[in-house]
Structure 1
Amino acid sequence: MSRRRDPVERADQQSTDLYDVSTWEPRSPLDRAAYAIYSGISYGLRAIVLLVALVITLALLVQPGILVAEQPLLGVFFGLSIVPAALLAAFIWYTDITTGEPLRLLVATFVLAVLFATFAAVVNSLTRPWFEVIPVIGTALFFFLIVGPVEEAVKLLAVRVFAYRSETFDAVIDGAVYGAVAGLGFAAIENAIYIASTVAEAEVGIFTAATGIATVRALVGPGHVIYSAIAGYYLGLAKFNPQYAGPLVVKGLLVASIVHATYNTTVGFVPDVLVAFYPISPEFAFIGYVILFDLAIGYYLYRKIVRYRRTYASIRDDSGTPPEPESTEFDPPSR
């Protein structure tokens, strides 16, 4: 998107110094001081947000850390619980037909998703009591108004902070890749907290308790990857469609949030309905429903990726020069 210009600048034909008339750049000591103060506030706020996220994350990981120190085997269950989600994220990364994404940005996105997931944990914990007093529909409202939007927003934020700003984010499909990695990071810390709290409260042996909850969390993890990859795909579209960037980001969040909330709502009763009508065990009904739900939503994402890949293969420019994305309102001002 081209920079908007004042009428004086448009009429000038670039022959006059318009500093402090219709253009501006840091020249004087006061200019440079103003620029430095603004940069300090901008980066300072970002640092504060990251610091707060780190403190909350460390606080939430105290219990898992203590349990792993006492029972090292529990760390194995933490790792195994994210294997399906990691495999799915790796598959989405593999489907990126354009240039590969640098490892440093993938790792940064993963770590930021771990940190920002704690914001969702705090918001969910504080708001849940408000909805628990609402009869019948309280839980569903909680999932659709709080859990879905908040969790998908913090995962997308993990992509937005660093990866989105990078020059290597040079294709729409990159948004799906980074979104998937953010979903993996979110699933990793969520699984650790769930497994640790379940084991701590269980009255059975650690192996029995950890096996059960780790299996459940392993099934849930791929959903986080799929939902945030969908939102990330639309973030990628937003970067290359600056005139519609805002609505595209909102659309991606709406799709991801609604799907996420639908899963959270239906998984609580659909397996019971299946058990009531079919001679199957509750465990089999739960596993079957989660897999079918993820396959259905995953197919939605897969179709988008496949369509992108086919189009890229058929019309790409073999010059080797990737297109430059235009600036949007989400980008920092050029210097």
Structure 2
Amino acid sequence: MLELLGIALAPGVAIMLYIYLKDKHEREPLHLLITSFLYGAFSTLVTLVISWPLNTFLILKEGDIVDEFFTAFFKVALVEEFSKFFFVRFILYPNRNFNEPFDGIVYAVMVSMGFATLENIMYIFEYGFQTGILRMFTAVPAHATFGVMMGFYLGKSKFTHSRTLYFGFLALIAPTIFHGSYDYFWFIAEVKDVWAGIWVFAIISLVLGLILSRNAIRLHQQASPFNTATVDENNRI
């Protein structure tokens, strides 16, 4: 049991440590990062509350490639990303410690890892060690990329001082699109008469998300008002 718990916790902890170390210029209080992680875990309950009426009144056929599209993008991706978005945008966003664009990425990833870790524990204890290894390199990193995208646009929303609603909208829609795409290709991989290797496109979407996340991290690091190199350059100008 401890082995399974360790496998379930490891990827989320590793990703959170990675993001924490990438916050080079003005790191967030540890207690707030832990709180953000707990918000993410609690967001799974929000997901369940929203999903219950959807699953009750919006009946979609499993194994139908059109219905699976709506399941992936609306019943899963949009609901889960909104649940995480709620805590980041309405609780963490106004916090005085959210004082540079990169903080959007930090808090959104912490919330995403809270969600992904609790989800990971449930999956691994139900399906076992092999599922844990698979999710360590797929589902959990995917949730991290969704968090980076959300946080990137929330950082722009708060500190660009223009098009706030536009960037706030992208903070929800961008991760929803990538999340839905990732899930959709996994969902239809087992559908009869669909190419069995279509799951490869889920991996492609994950790789693309990782590339975009790396660029987003770099851009917000450079944009930090606490970045002395940027401040010195601006002073020279």
Q: TM-score range by the shorter chain?
A: 0.7 to 0.9
The answer to whether the 8 A contact 2:68-2:188 is kept is no
Instruction: Tell me what 2:60 maps to.
Output: 132
Q: Normalization by structure 2: what TM-score?
A: 0.82
The answer to whether the 8 A contact 1:77-1:214 is kept is yes
What's the CA shift for 1:301? 1.4
Residues 107-164 of structure 1, C-alpha deviations (whole Å, 9 max, x = no match) = 1111111112111133334423524248541121122123212211111222234432
Mapped pair 1:301 → 2:230:
no
The letter of the residue matching 2:217 is I
Instruction: Tell me what 1:214 maps to.
Output: 132
| Structure 2 stretches lacking a partner, 5+ long | none
The answer to whether the 8 A contact 2:148-2:216 is kept is no
What's the CA shift for 1:242? 4.2
Residues 266-285 of structure 1, C-alpha deviations (whole Å, 9 max, x = no match) = 12345983659xxxxxxxxx
Mapped pair 1:156 → 2:85:
yes
Correspondence for 1:260 among 154, 157, 179: 179
The answer to whether the 8 A contact 1:183-1:226 is kept is no
What's the CA shift for 1:106? 0.3
Correspondence for 2:13 among 58, 82, 86: 86
The letter of the residue matching 2:180 is A
The answer to whether the 8 A contact 2:181-2:205 is kept is no
Call closer, same or farther: CA 1:310–1:240 in 2, change over 3 Å: closer
Whole-angstrom distance in 1 between the partners of 2:221 and 2:159: 16
The letter of the residue matching 2:164 is A
Whole-angstrom distance in 2 between the partners of 1:170 and 1:317: 19
Q: Which sits farther off after the overlay, 109-118 or 132-141?
A: 132-141
Call closer, same or farther: CA 1:113–1:90 in 2, change over 3 Å: same
The answer to whether the 8 A contact 1:182-1:225 is kept is no
Whole-angstrom distance in 2 between the partners of 1:317 and 1:155: 36
Q: What aligned pairs does 1:40-119 form with structure 2 within 5 A after superposition? A: 73=1, 75-119=2-46
Q: What aligned pairs does 1:324-335 form with structure 2 within 5 A after superposition? A: none
What's the CA shift for 1:231? 0.6
Pair member with larger Rg: 1
Instruction: Tell me what 2:71 maps to.
Output: 142
Whole-angstrom distance in 2 between the partners of 1:106 and 1:301: 20
Instruction: Tell me what 2:230 maps to.
Output: 315
Q: Which has the higher helix share?
A: 2
Report % sequence identity.
Answer: 21
Tell me the matched-pair count. 225
Q: Which has the higher contact order (CA 8 A, sep 6+)?
A: 2
Call closer, same or farther: CA 1:156–1:142 in 2, change over 3 Å: same
